[in-house]
A and B are shown apart, each in its own frame.
Chain A
Amino acid sequence: MQPELLTWLIPLPPLLAFGLIVLWAYRSNRLSHGLAVGAMTVSWAMAMAVFVIALGRQHLGETPIASAIDWIPTGATALRIGVLIDPLSAVTLFFVAWTCLAIFVYSIGYHNFGKPRDDHDRPGLPPHAGGIEPMYARFFAFISLFAFGMLTLVVSDNLLLLFIGWEIMGLCSYLLIGFWYGKEAAKQAMVKAFMTTRVGDVFMLLGLAALYSVTGTLNYRDILYNEGVLHTLATTSSGILGLSWSGLIGLLLFLGTVGKSAQFPLHVWLPDAMEGPTPVSAMIHAATMVSAGVYLAVRFFPLLTAGWHEGEALTLPMTIVAAVGAFTALFSATIAVAQNDVKRVLAYSTISQLGYMVAAVGIGAYVAAAFHLITHAFFKALLFLGSGSVIHGMEHGVHATHAHLDAQDMLNMGGLRRRMPLTFVTFLIGGLALSGFPLITAGFWSKDEILAHAFGTGQLIVFGVLALAALLTAFYTMRQITLTFLGAPRTPAASQAHESVTTMTAPLVVLAIFAVAAGWIGIPEDFLGLHLPFGNWFHAFVGGTLLEHPPALPFQWSPLLTSVAVASLGLLVGWWVYRRVPAGGPDPLVRALGPIHTLLRRKYYIDELYDVAIVRPAYWLADQVSYRWIDRGLIDGFLHAVARVALRIGSGLRQGFDLPIVNGFGDLVGNSVKFGGRALRYVQTGRIQGYLVIGLLFTGLLLSYFLLIRP
């Protein structure tokens, strides 16, 4: 089959599965997950085929797999949509297909397929005693739609189709975060996620509109692979803040990334989104949605950096992007240190890692950002799914011991390595990849590349901030592993936990392999000053997406040593501090940090700040101004006035015209007919001879008239 056609078909099976499940198959759980997983497998197979074809093509950057059709005619021209597989979308497609498939399979086990339905479970609440999820089919319908959104976004060749996939994912994330809508926290989280990302989306839409009005197209190749257009955009001023059009549009699109990828200050929705089922957390926070934000930033790297050349000082838009990314990386790493919920730690670590990628885009490290995007997707999906497995095991323990405790609180865990060995090993691999454990894990190579780039281009502030964030990352990751898996069980529930089913552990193993091996494709050629026999395949491949292939920086010892040092130090300290936390004992950091720990635990009071600064004023505005004043006063007042005037005119017409004239005439006709008939009826005597007399009389009269008067 032609690769173009194959690419068109990639997103469609999950959409089909969604439709079939919603309309027809939802009664059967087995059929529903069969459809969803089957469709995802077909998509995965097509994605792998396209990926292999893309690998085999020489100069994929110059001659990508592309195909487009006219979609919406707009006067003389038409909006075109199409598919494009260039090196960047090829590698993105690769990791999206793998992680999505793993998550689909994992969901079967996570939602207790095969267990009987517990009569106490209600739709909208998590099953509390290991029974099958009451809304099992619905979940698979939603994640199928979600996968459709992401695959559409990845294969798209223009910003419009990307935006469509982007918004489909926004909807699905809303639906899936609030999947257990019976929980108050989930309800609030879904609204929060939707509203917060909407802020970014509005700016992104502005950027999209600006881009279309300036260039007349939204196609990636026409804009980003076109020196003339980029040059024009970079040199014409937009008249806003002294930015060029490329800078302005780049920043507006970047705000979309800020919302979707949960960068400061729009990061608040992501930790709350942990209320959803764990496969959803993995899907939204690792494989797809947050990756989509960074994918956008990486995709529009040429626009953001138009007019900038390797080695020059950063432009203003780039500085902003780098600052936001670096700040977010450090900021949320500090919060993650003080969280006790196993999923929340991962949520903040995700924000932090996304900050890494954004910072990498900001300092011009195009390839490093894409590299970290991919490795992170694998190991973060692994960690989330692993944490889901842990929670599942803990819930079993909680149920078995009839205890009332939080199955997600790490202080209630401990010693799980014996009870859940497979989960422990895979989680350990994921955790080490996240902290950048030297040489073997994927996270080390990608993170090291970002740090090396920051150091190599002289961005020492960014380098320092990211290195500090890396230290904290290693620390909180080891804290998590130590509290969860090492030591002795701190609660009876933890000692009763059990390993999860195969459908959950198999995806963990697959993802664990990628969490290690995905890093080997991007080992710098001159690593450690050696001349390795294989080149940096990833750099050469993804770098080909750009017009001007980014040069590989020469190897330097300082960033490598820093990277190794912070990772090892963080891991060591994390283990040392938490190696023996007693049952019921507080976090050792509480005493060490005092009020700072409270500040971190409460996430710098940003939620409270937003509540006071934005949410409450918005409510107040809605209630007092919009509702009472505008709606009740102005609009209702106007409507009431109109109603009163209409009533008056209507009653005037009724009294003055309808009753006397229209009704009067009608009554007159009726009455005259009635009285006429009443008067005339006496003629009708029923006597035949009477009629004959009358006939004779009139005949006589007529005869007299014609014979005598008109002879």
Chain B
Amino acid sequence: MIPLSWYLGLSAAVFCIGLYGVLGRRNAVAILMGIELMLNAVNINLVAFWRYISPALVAGQAFAIIIFAVAASEAAVGLALIISIYRSRSTVAAEDIDLMKW
């Protein structure tokens, strides 16, 4: 059976890729996609821990499903915001959206 650490390694890799996407990409849609990756990395973690440490309980799966729901609603709200910004400013580049600057 594949050891737990492999899953954790995969999860960490996906999280880091997502983090890089969030911090490094200019396009706001890409940033949103990075966030999805990070959330799913967490899901991998949760499911792996559930399976290897306490498979009798249902908590791990429940957490994973809640995160799906959160991820879906976040994507919906985030995209709506981005579309709204695009309509008013004709751009989705994150560094151009700096109205709150000093």
Assess whether B101 is in contact with A688, with CB atoms less than 8 Å apart: no
Assess whether A689 is in contact with B95, with CB atoms less than 8 Å apart: yes
In this complex, the interface size class of chain B, counting residues with CB under 8 Å from chain A, is: 10 to 19
The residue in chain B whose Cβ has the minimal distance to the Cβ of A688 is B94
Say yes or no: A692-B23 contact (C-beta < 8 A), given A687-B94, A687-B95: yes
B residues in contact with A686, CB < 8 Å = 97-102
A696: interface (CB < 8 Å): yes
A residues in contact with B22, CB < 8 Å = 689, 692
CA gap between A123 and B10 in the complex, in Å: 113
A residues in contact with B23, CB < 8 Å = 689, 692-693, 696
CA gap between A682 and B101 in the complex, in Å: 9
The residue in chain B whose Cβ has the minimal distance to the Cβ of A683 is B102
A591: interface (CB < 8 Å): no
A residues in contact with B95, CB < 8 Å = 687, 689
CA gap between A692 and B23 in the complex, in Å: 7
Residues 49 to 102 of chain B near chain A (Cβ within 8 Å): 94-95, 97-102
The residue in chain A whose Cβ has the minimal distance to the Cβ of B99 is A686
Interface string of B13-36 (1 = CB under 8 A from A): 000000100110000000100000
A residues in contact with B31, CB < 8 Å = 689
B residues in contact with A689, CB < 8 Å = 22-23, 31, 94-95
Q: How far is the CB of B43 from chain A (nearest CB, A)?
A: 20
A residues in contact with B97, CB < 8 Å = 686, 688
B residues in contact with A687, CB < 8 Å = 94-95, 98, 101
A residues in contact with B19, CB < 8 Å = 696
B residues in contact with A663, CB < 8 Å = none
A120: interface (CB < 8 Å): no
Interface string of A663-688 (1 = CB under 8 A from B): 00000000000000000011011111
Q: How far is the CB of A286 from chain B (nearest CB, A)?
A: 97
CA gap between A688 and B26 in the complex, in Å: 11
The residue in chain A whose Cβ has the minimal distance to the Cβ of B19 is A696
Residues 506 to 553 of chain A near chain B (Cβ within 8 Å): none
The residue in chain A whose Cβ has the minimal distance to the Cβ of B100 is A686
CA gap between A686 and B98 in the complex, in Å: 4
Assess whether A685 is in contact with B98, with CB atoms less than 8 Å apart: yes
B residues in contact with A685, CB < 8 Å = 98, 101-102
B residues in contact with A693, CB < 8 Å = 23
The residue in chain A whose Cβ has the minimal distance to the Cβ of B25 is A689
Interface string of A346-371 (1 = CB under 8 A from B): 00000000000000000000000000
Q: How far is the CB of A693 from chain B (nearest CB, A)?
A: 6
CA gap between A696 and B98 in the complex, in Å: 20
A residues in contact with B102, CB < 8 Å = 681-682, 684-686
Q: How far is the CB of B63 from chain A (nearest CB, A)?
A: 21
CA gap between A606 and B1 in the complex, in Å: 143
CA gap between A539 and B75 in the complex, in Å: 125
**Which residue among A688, A692, A693, A696 has the maximum number of chain B CB atoms within 10 Å of its CB?**
A688
Q: How far is the CB of A76 from chain B (nearest CB, A)?
A: 83
CA gap between A692 and B19 in the complex, in Å: 10
CA gap between A513 and B28 in the complex, in Å: 123
CA gap between A689 and B95 in the complex, in Å: 8
CA gap between A685 and B101 in the complex, in Å: 5
Residues 432 to 457 of chain A near chain B (Cβ within 8 Å): none
Assess whether A684 is in contact with B94, with CB atoms less than 8 Å apart: no
B residues in contact with A682, CB < 8 Å = 102
Q: How far is the CB of A18 from chain B (nearest CB, A)?
A: 79
B residues in contact with A681, CB < 8 Å = 102
A residues in contact with B94, CB < 8 Å = 687-689
The residue in chain A whose Cβ has the minimal distance to the Cβ of B96 is A687
B residues in contact with A692, CB < 8 Å = 22-23
CA gap between A689 and B23 in the complex, in Å: 6
CA gap between A692 and B31 in the complex, in Å: 12
The residue in chain B whose Cβ has the minimal distance to the Cβ of A684 is B102
B residues in contact with A696, CB < 8 Å = 19, 23
Q: How far is the CB of A700 from chain B (nearest CB, A)?
A: 11
CA gap between A473 and B95 in the complex, in Å: 123
Q: How far is the CB of A643 from chain B (nearest CB, A)?
A: 54
CA gap between A688 and B31 in the complex, in Å: 11
**Which residue among A682, A686, A696 has the maximum number of chain B CB atoms within 10 Å of its CB?**
A686
CA gap between A682 and B102 in the complex, in Å: 7
CA gap between A696 and B19 in the complex, in Å: 10
A residues in contact with B100, CB < 8 Å = 684, 686
The residue in chain A whose Cβ has the minimal distance to the Cβ of B101 is A686
CA gap between A696 and B22 in the complex, in Å: 11
Q: How far is the CB of A686 from chain B (nearest CB, A)?
A: 3
Q: How far is the CB of B68 from chain A (nearest CB, A)?
A: 23
A residues in contact with B98, CB < 8 Å = 685-687
B residues in contact with A688, CB < 8 Å = 94, 97
CA gap between A663 and B16 in the complex, in Å: 55
CA gap between A685 and B100 in the complex, in Å: 8
A residues in contact with B99, CB < 8 Å = 686
CA gap between A681 and B100 in the complex, in Å: 11
Q: How far is the CB of A175 from chain B (nearest CB, A)?
A: 79
B residues in contact with A684, CB < 8 Å = 100-102
CA gap between A484 and B22 in the complex, in Å: 127
Q: How far is the CB of B34 from chain A (nearest CB, A)?
A: 10
Interface string of A685-711 (1 = CB under 8 A from B): 111110011001000000000000000
Q: How far is the CB of A7 from chain B (nearest CB, A)?
A: 93
The residue in chain A whose Cβ has the minimal distance to the Cβ of B31 is A689
A residues in contact with B101, CB < 8 Å = 684-687
CA gap between A696 and B101 in the complex, in Å: 20
CA gap between A685 and B23 in the complex, in Å: 15
Q: How far is the CB of A377 from chain B (nearest CB, A)?
A: 100
Q: How far is the CB of B38 from chain A (nearest CB, A)?
A: 11
CA gap between A485 and B100 in the complex, in Å: 111
Q: How far is the CB of A689 from chain B (nearest CB, A)?
A: 6
CA gap between A689 and B30 in the complex, in Å: 12
CA gap between A234 and B97 in the complex, in Å: 113
CA gap between A225 and B89 in the complex, in Å: 113
**Which residue among A684, A689, A696 has the maximum number of chain B CB atoms within 10 Å of its CB?**
A689
CA gap between A686 and B19 in the complex, in Å: 20
CA gap between A681 and B101 in the complex, in Å: 9
Q: How far is the CB of B31 from chain A (nearest CB, A)?
A: 8
Q: How far is the CB of A675 from chain B (nearest CB, A)?
A: 15
Q: How far is the CB of B61 from chain A (nearest CB, A)?
A: 27
The residue in chain B whose Cβ has the minimal distance to the Cβ of A680 is B102
CA gap between A687 and B95 in the complex, in Å: 5
Knowing that A686-B102, A693-B23, A696-B19 are A-B contacts, what are 7 other residue pairs whose CB atoms are under 8 Å apart, sorted by A's residue number? A682-B102, A685-B98, A685-B102, A686-B99, A686-B100, A689-B23, A689-B31
Q: What are the nearest 9 A-B pairs in CB distance?
A: A686-B101, A686-B98, A681-B102, A684-B102, A686-B100, A687-B95, A689-B23, A689-B94, A687-B98
Binding site for B on A (CB under 8 A): 681-682, 684-689, 692-693, 696
Task: Give 12 CB contacts A-B under 8 Å.
Answer: A684-B101, A686-B99, A686-B100, A686-B101, A687-B94, A687-B95, A688-B97, A689-B22, A689-B23, A689-B94, A692-B22, A696-B23
